Amino acid sequence: MLNIAVLMGRLTADPELRHTPNGVAVTRFTLAVERTYVKSGAERQADFIDIVAWRNTAEFVSKYFHKGQLVAVDGSIQTGSYQDKDGNKRRTFEIVASNVHFAEPKRDSYNDNMNNNQPEYSGFNEGVSTSASSYENGSNEDFQEVPSDDDLPF
């Protein structure tokens, strides 16, 4: 069977880290995901999708993500049901996140002060962005020469 969900949207609130009675980290958050189809003359609609993340993913999300941030989530759909206070049976669904990714470049004073002529990219593949300008200007402080080794097995 195949159960894969991939979404990109904006967080509707700051994720809050909680722990189960057994000490397992969990966070629940909602993504506002814009629909691809727009009726002529109408505003773009969005769906609000509930996401749950567990353990290390939950800790990562609650530490690095905040309201309004564009994120990409991959995981699986999980359904459930419950009985409401009026006795009606209700069904639920949520995405259980396997991975949560940055989907836009980080905006901070360091990047704002860098070369303003460089274009800013946004999108899924630009997730965790770092500026390459420090390498382009000839700085090699972060690099060291690897010694030659003729005994390599390949």
CATH number of the domain to which 27 belongs: 2.40.50.140
Residue 86 falls inside a structural domain: yes
Quote the pLDDT of residue 105. Answer: 86
Q: 27 burial class (0-12, 13-18, 19+ CB within 10 angstroms)? A: buried
Quote the pLDDT of residue 147. Answer: 61
Quote the pLDDT of residue 125. Answer: 39
Residue 12 falls inside a structural domain: yes
Residue 70 falls inside a structural domain: yes
Partners of 31 in the β-ladder: 11, 49
Question: Model pTM greater than 0.75?
Answer: no
Quote the pLDDT of residue 58. Answer: 97
Residues of the chain with pLDDT under 50: 109-137, 154
Domain enclosing residue 13, as ranges: 5-36+44-113
Quote the pLDDT of residue 142. Answer: 56
Q: Which residues, in sequence order, are CB contacts of 137 under 8 Å at separation 6+? A: none
Number of domains the chain contains: 1
